[in-house]
Amino acid sequence: MANQYLAGIHSFINGRIEDINAKLTSAAVVGDNCRKRYLEGQLEELYAARRFLSSRYDLATQTYY
């Protein structure tokens, strides 16, 4: 059983990524390059946080490196 707190963090990050991808699509349609760059930066930060958590914590076995 995965650590409930860690699973919640992963769920939050995935939800934010989905929200930002939707906003990024609408910004691209409108042509708002400033907002598009801002959202792309947020995505980079969220992907980095998810990579960090995935590399350090195993949700399947709760092995902490």
Residue 29 within a domain: yes
Residue 64 within a domain: no
Over 50: is that where the pLDDT of 65 sits? Answer: no
60 vs 6, more confident: 6
Quote the pLDDT of residue 61. Answer: 66
Residue 52 within a domain: yes
Number of helical (H) and strand (E) elements in the chain, helices listed first: 2, 0
Residue 41 within a domain: yes
From residue 47, alpha-carbon distances to 1, 22, 54 in Å are: 24, 16, 10
pLDDT tens-digit map of 14-60: 999 999 999 999 999 999 999 999 999 999 999 999 999 888 877 67
Residue 28 within a domain: yes
Residue 42 within a domain: yes
Give dist(CA 63, CA 57) in Å, integer: 6
Number of domains in the chain: 1
Residue 62 within a domain: no
Cα 15 to chain centroid, rounded: 7
Residue 63 within a domain: no
Over 70: is that where the pLDDT of 62 sits? Answer: no
30 vs 2, more confident: 30
Over 90: is that where the pLDDT of 6 sits? Answer: no
Structural domain of 39 = 4-56
